[in-house]
Amino acid sequence: MAISPALEWADRLKDLPGPQTLQWAVLLALAALAGHGVQRFAGLPKIVGYAVVGALAGWLGVAGAAWPLSGMGLLLLELGIAVVLFEAGARLPLRWLRHNPMVLVQSLAESLLTFAVAWLSLRALGLEVAVVRALSVIAVAASPAVLMRVMHDLRASGPVTDRALALATLNTLYALTLGVAALHAIDRGDATLLAWVASALAVLGLSLLCGAALAALLAAALRVLDPGSQDTAVVVLALLAVCAGVTALLGGSAPLAALLGGLLLKQAYRRPWVRPRQLGTAALMLNIIMFVLVACTAAQADWSAAALAALVLTLARLAAKVLSLMGAGLGSGMAPIKSFWVGVTLTPMSSVALLLTSQFVAASHSIGTQVTAIALPTILVSELLGAALTTLALYRTGEAGQPWRELRTRAAGGDEASQYGDS
């Protein structure tokens, strides 16, 4: 018996991707085009285009992500963060920190002052301790992902760029360690400082153990595989995904394990190696998904519910980072004006802050809802404003590779595959 064409097409339609899959496919294509256009015509980094498209999609209710994040959205976000932090950890020069320990002092001062100023500012608004604790931890973390994207688009290099990336990587390490520890005590307002420190050390120890295993496996693989081959790219991504899953099961922090894995790999595998272009292409795709997802999710927040608290947190965070770096930078070999611009580059918040916020919501709905109302607007504003301020900082310090007019000319000639492939 012959099947009618209408029935045949109906059967085919059942096998097509769902509406949300199609929406995300179109959204990512638009984000890539917007990123290219923003760089070509405005001289701004592509992340601005990615975030604007994601924010518009969130406000319009297109391809909305479930909150708190779960399923495929959470998996892609965690994998994107793991790739970025693995790269950031591999760029963190421990030898430089040994020769100039004031950089580490500067990092600790910046993180502690940011936490303290955020805490005092939010407590002054009458928020409860558990909410203030969560938001203060989130405020500590800058965004290595945004910094690395901007650095790549501007071809930036120099002492301000290196210092900014090192400090962003370190304060992300602190925030992830304290964040997971705060999750364990989120419903315990009477949790002592000693208990919180013990929990933070346990998280750091578990993550360090998983990161060391990741570094050992990758170092062994690199002795067998060609560092620039497709096989190496597949192995790196697969091991990062496995590390993320195992670390989460053990109670550690998957992004923190990836960061520590990159840091330890740099020590275990001394020979310089060119990361395969295939890894760069995959990382770029994950980057676009990550930035769009962050903006799309943050834009869905009720901005009127806690606008004042979000504004206070944004301004307090920026002031704390700038002032602390200028004060602690006196013995670090950097002039005060450059320390000021380094502080400006630490404005961006993005994927790590969103992940921590989502985890707080999953751990406690009542507290997480209050955290979300303040954190999501702060994250979106900091991502967009931070990318622009970082561009300004690198341009004013003379570390952006080319002036903005020449950037537009270069962007018109073509795009690089990824921030990783040509680093």
Domain assignments of the chain as residue spans, ordered by start? 26-407
More confident of the two residues 420 and 287: 287
CB contact at 8 A, 244 and 257? yes
More confident of the two residues 5 and 381: 381
CA distance 166 to 156: 15
The tens digit of pLDDT for each residue in 235-251 reads 889 999 999 989 988 88
pLDDT of residue 75: 86
pLDDT of 407 strictly over 60: no
**With bands split at pLDDT 50, 70 and 90, how would you rate the model's confidence at 401?**
low
CA distance 98 to 270: 17
Identify the three-state secondary structure at position 371.
helix
pTM above 0.75, yes or no: yes
**With bands split at pLDDT 50, 70 and 90, how would you rate the model's confidence at 410?**
low
| For range 384-412, the mean pLDDT | 75
pLDDT of 421 strictly over 70: no
The tens digit of pLDDT for each residue in 289-315 reads 999 999 998 888 888 778 899 999 999
More confident of the two residues 405 and 221: 221
Alpha carbon of residue 152 to chain centroid: 15
pLDDT of residue 390: 94
**With bands split at pLDDT 50, 70 and 90, how would you rate the model's confidence at 18?**
low
What percent of the chain lies above the pLDDT cut of 90? Answer: 48
**With bands split at pLDDT 50, 70 and 90, how would you rate the model's confidence at 420?**
very low
In this structure, is the dihedral angle defined by the CA atoms of residues 52, 158, 417 and 262, taken in order, positive or negative?
negative
**With bands split at pLDDT 50, 70 and 90, how would you rate the model's confidence at 226?**
confident
**With bands split at pLDDT 50, 70 and 90, how would you rate the model's confidence at 275?**
low
pLDDT of 331 strictly over 50: yes
pLDDT of 277 strictly over 70: no
Least confident of 48-57, 155-164, 181-190: 181-190
pLDDT of residue 413: 54
The tens digit of pLDDT for each residue in 178-213 reads 888 888 766 555 556 677 778 888 889 999 999 999
CB contact at 8 A, 347 and 386? yes
| For range 322-350, the mean pLDDT | 89
% helix, strand, coil for the chain, step of 5: 75, 0, 25
Pick the CATH number of 26-407 from 1.10.1490.10, 1.20.1530.20, 3.30.470.20, 3.30.70.980: 1.20.1530.20
Instruction: Classify residue 2 by its DSSP letter.
Output: P
| For range 30-48, the mean pLDDT | 91
pLDDT of residue 383: 93
CB contact at 8 A, 329 and 388? no
More confident of the two residues 357 and 40: 357
CA distances (Å), origin 13, targets 2, 21, 282 = 19, 14, 29
pLDDT, averaged across the chain: 84
Listed in sequence order, the residues at least 6 apart from 366 whose beta carbon sits closer than 8 Å to its beta carbon are: none
pLDDT of 93 strictly over 50: yes
pLDDT of residue 111: 95
